[in-house]
């Protein structure tokens, strides 16, 4: 069968042969045994409903074995035989170009070069899934291939509920992931519902088909490291010779060493999983690999002496690095952590003192002891970090729930008031006031033709648009404009592409609209093929997360989720090709609500109208909320937006003098 025929087949009527378990692939860890005997039967019933009754006797044994062995039913037998990658859009079968673009994006999320655990359909973060099983993937791709411009595909946590009649202006796909009742949003609730096959953790851009590999976060990480360096800089000095210590080389965290190189510092990034280390090193995202602590100390001292720009992966536990550098008096300028602590008990964080293999055994077979070891490790890590910060290290939480889980473990990370943490979130100190409040966030595009020359064309076009805008940009956003022009001009030489021909660029609403408008015009003129627009959910409006995206909201509303919900609803009727809303993300189930979109540009007048309407709302919704919280940058930005758009009328806050309370 051809690739197109296999897509159109969906779930085959004749079962394919079982697939051998490929040990060369980076697999998800075994999930803990959380279901009762009756619940396991229910999980099997739920899985078997995808198949005709004549297959149930064969599959029930197979699926029961998967559930017992891995803690989940992945339906490995149903894995397609074709190579998984983002093909040029014209290679997909279908009646609707928008649907073909979504198929392209789904396959990019599952590309072996992109996905963290491709056989388990997990893109990044340890549990960020595109689908729960391979039957869902096959059925979804079939529906997309059959879809017309008058239908919408409804996705319930990876399950394609079906194609429903709608209309041309409606989103082609509406995605929800993990949207459970609030009282059932604890980590074990996710384990149970996911094992039952009724809900999944979509992370941010995994379950919304908008992940573009580690490039997706490298720009934001670069901005964070650059501005972190500016906070500690003396007399305008740069980051040359400065040391940045962090951890995690899996999915999103894999961007850190590349960002450190672009920012111009020495980066040491610890990672316990040898396959993750090998992947990032082979992709050129980290320069060197060291597995001996003494060798690491020697290498870092040399790099500091020569003021090198170099990234080093330490294959081992980050706690050992913090403690060793303290003992050897290696000064750390910037420090953070990007292990997946939103998922601490199921592979997101590996405790010091256990090998990678032994930790996986404890995780599955003795979760109580494993949790104790994780919390002990967090206490040790926090203690070592405290010793470094006493020497002057600037440490920031990377929004991965490190400080939150460390506090729950009883680590010494609370401020004197007993309410706040000792260390700021990077959004509190850097991204929020410097970027999000002014509307700057992670705008993305993918060249659906698959041609590198199309990506080069769009890079050059985006740079020219920003340079023209920078001429009249107000002083409040001049630094952001200059940083982003420098970024896009260096994008090609930094070799950021992994998977699809994609790019990320921090831009405000005006920048996103002007760039998208220029792309659509170029498509209409036949200069490039179709382009898919999107963004990270980690943006101005997309996410309500009190310890990350909305951590610099100080009016008491940072725990509310109105912004993310309003964002997705507004995008859906303003022209998005698909929209998504998730419970979970980078900080954990029950800790965040986040939403995103995808939009296909095809050169048409309809696309031009949609991009103007949707992109304006997608950014200014968040600026308005941040302005109402009295964030000065956001008040400036929303006032500027109202000057440009007469139909925009936003409620502004009145400032209250402290003297009012002198009663």
Of the candidates 295, 287, 293, 289, the residue with the CA atom closest to the CA atom of residue 265: 287
pLDDT of residue 251: 65
Residue 446 sits at φ, ψ, to 5 deg, of -130, 130
Q: Which two tokens stand for residue 303?
A: 């790099």
Number of Cβ atoms within 10 Å of the Cβ of 69: 11
Residue with tokens 């980690």: 538
Ranges of the chain whose pLDDT falls below 50: none
Secondary structure (DSSP) of 233-280: -STT--STT-EEEEE--SSGGGGHHHHHHHHTSEEEEEES-HHHHHHH
C-alpha distances out from residue 421 to 82, 395, 401, 417, 620, Å: 49, 12, 12, 9, 30
* 85 assigned ligand-binding residue: no
Backbone region of residue 162 per phi and psi (left: phi > 0; alpha: psi in -120 to 50; beta: other values): left
The two three-digit tokens of residue 256, written as one number: 């850190």
pLDDT at 241: 94
Count of Cβ atoms closer than 10 Å to residue 501 Cβ: 24
pLDDT value of position 320: 98
pLDDT of the residue at 84: 97
Element (H, E) at 194: helix 187-196
Angle 496-497-502 from CA coordinates, rounded to 5°? 110
Paired with 335 in beta bridges are: 245, 395
| pLDDT value at residue 221 | 87
Say whether 271 counts as a known binding-site residue: yes
Token representation of residue 423? 């260390």
| DSSP string computed for 416-457 | TTSSSBSS-BHIIIIIHHHTGGGT-EEEEEEETT--HHHHHH
Measuring CA to CA, which residue among 216, 221, 294, 225 is closest to residue 264? 225
Nearest to 507 by CA among 537, 548, 465, 546: 465
Q: Is 633 annotated as a binding residue?
A: no
Q: Can you give the pTM of this predicted structure?
A: 0.89
The answer to whether 398 is a known ligand-binding residue is yes
Nearest to 251 by CA among 287, 275, 224, 225: 275
What is the chain's Cα-based Rg? 24
> Secondary structure of 150-168 in the HEC alphabet?
CEEEEEECCEEEEEEECCC
What pLDDT is attached to residue 566?
Answer: 98
The answer to whether 126 is annotated as binding is: yes
Q: Is 209 annotated as a binding residue?
A: no
Number of C-alpha atoms within 13 angstroms, CB side, residue 267? Answer: 36
Q: How far apart are CA 139 and CA 150, in angstroms?
A: 19
Closest CA to 14 of 76, 73, 77, 65: 77
| Angle at the Cα of 487 from the Cα atoms of 486 and 489, rounded to 5 degrees | 65
Q: H helices of 314-401, where? A: 318-327, 356-365, 367-389
Whether 229 contacts 263, CB under 8 Å? yes
């Amino acid at each position: 069968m051809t690739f197109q025929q296999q897509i159109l087949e969906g779930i085959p009527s004749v079962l394919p042969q079982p697939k051998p378990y490929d040990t060369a692939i980076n697999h998800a860890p075994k999930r803990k045994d959380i279901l009762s005997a009756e619940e396991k039967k229910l999980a099997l019933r739920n899985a078997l409903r995808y198949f005709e009754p004549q297959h149930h006797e064969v599959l029930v044994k197979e699926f029961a074995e998967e559930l017992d062995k891995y803690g989940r039913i992945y339906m490995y037998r149903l894995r397609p035989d074709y190579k998984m990658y983002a093909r040029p859009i014209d290679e997909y079968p279908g009646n609707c170009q928008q649907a073909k673009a979504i198929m392209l994006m789904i396959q990019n999320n599952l590309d072996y070069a992109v996905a963290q655990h491709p056989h388990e359909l997990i893109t990044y973060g340890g549990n960020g899934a595109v689908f729960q099983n391979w039957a869902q993937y096959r059925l979804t791709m079939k529906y997309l291939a059959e879809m017309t411009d008058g239908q919408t595909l409804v996705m319930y946590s990876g399950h394609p509920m079906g194609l429903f009649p709608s209309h041309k202006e409606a989103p082609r796909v509406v995605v929800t992931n993990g949207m459970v009742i609030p009282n059932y949003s604890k980590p074990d609730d996710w384990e149970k519902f996911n094992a039952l096959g009724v809900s999944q953790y979509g992370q941010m851009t995994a379950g919304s088909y908008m992940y573009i590999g580690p490039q997706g976060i490298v720009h934001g990480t670069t901005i964070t490291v650059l501005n972190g360096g500016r906070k500690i800089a003396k007399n305008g000095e740069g980051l040359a010779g400065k040391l940045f210590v962090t951890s995690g080389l899996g999915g999103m965290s894999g961007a850190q060493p590349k960002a450190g190189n672009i920012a111009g510092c020495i980066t040491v990034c610890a990672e316990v999983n040898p396959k993750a280390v090998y992947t990032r090193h082979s992709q050129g995202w980290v320069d060197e690999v060291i597995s001996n602590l003494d060798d690491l100390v020697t290498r870092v001292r040399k790099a500091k002496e020569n003021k090198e720009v170099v990234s080093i992966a330490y294959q081992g536990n980050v706690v050992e690095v913090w403690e060793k550098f303290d003992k050897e008096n290696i000064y750390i300028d910037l420090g953070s952590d990007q292990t997946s602590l939103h998922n601490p008990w199921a592979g997101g964080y590996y405790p010091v003192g256990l090998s990678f293999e032994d930790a996986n055994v404890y995780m599955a077979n003795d979760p109580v002891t494993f949790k104790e070891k994780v919390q002990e490790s967090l206490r040790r890590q926090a203690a070592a970090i405290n010793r470094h910060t006493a020497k002057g290290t600037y440490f920031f939480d990377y929004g991965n729930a490190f400080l939150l889980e460390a506090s729950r473990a009883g680590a010494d990370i609370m401020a004197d008031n007993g309410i706040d943490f000792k260390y700021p979130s990077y959004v509190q100190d850097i991204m929020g006031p410097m970027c999000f409040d002014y509307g700057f966030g992670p705008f993305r595009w993918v060249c659906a033709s698959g041609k590198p020359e199309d990506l080069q064309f769009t890079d050059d076009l985006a740079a020219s648009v920003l340079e023209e805008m920078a001429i009249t940009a107000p002083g409040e956003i001049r630094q952001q404009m200059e940083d982003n022009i420098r970024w896009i001009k260096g994008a090609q030489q930094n070799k950021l592409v992994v998977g699809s021909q994609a790019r990320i660029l921090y831009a405000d609403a005006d920048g996103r609209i002007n760039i998208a408008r220029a792309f659509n015009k170029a498509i209409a003129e036949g200069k490039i093929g179709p382009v898919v627009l999107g963004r990270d959910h980690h943006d101005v409006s997309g996410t309500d997360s009190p310890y990350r995206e909305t951590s610099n909201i100080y009016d008491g509303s940072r725990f509310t989720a109105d912004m993310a919900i309003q964002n997705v609803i507004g995008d859906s009727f303003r022209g998005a090709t698909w929209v998504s809303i998730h419970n979970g993300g980078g900080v954990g189930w029950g800790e965040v609500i986040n939403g995103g979109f995808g939009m296909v540009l095809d050169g048409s007048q309809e696309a031009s109208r949609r991009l103007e309407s949707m992109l304006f709302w997608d950014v200014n919704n968040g600026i308005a909320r941040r302005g109402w919280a009295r964030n000065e940058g956001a008040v400036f930005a929303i006032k500027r937006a109202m000057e440009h758009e007469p139909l925009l009328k936003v409620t502004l806050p009145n400032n209250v003098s402290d003297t009012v309370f002198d009663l």
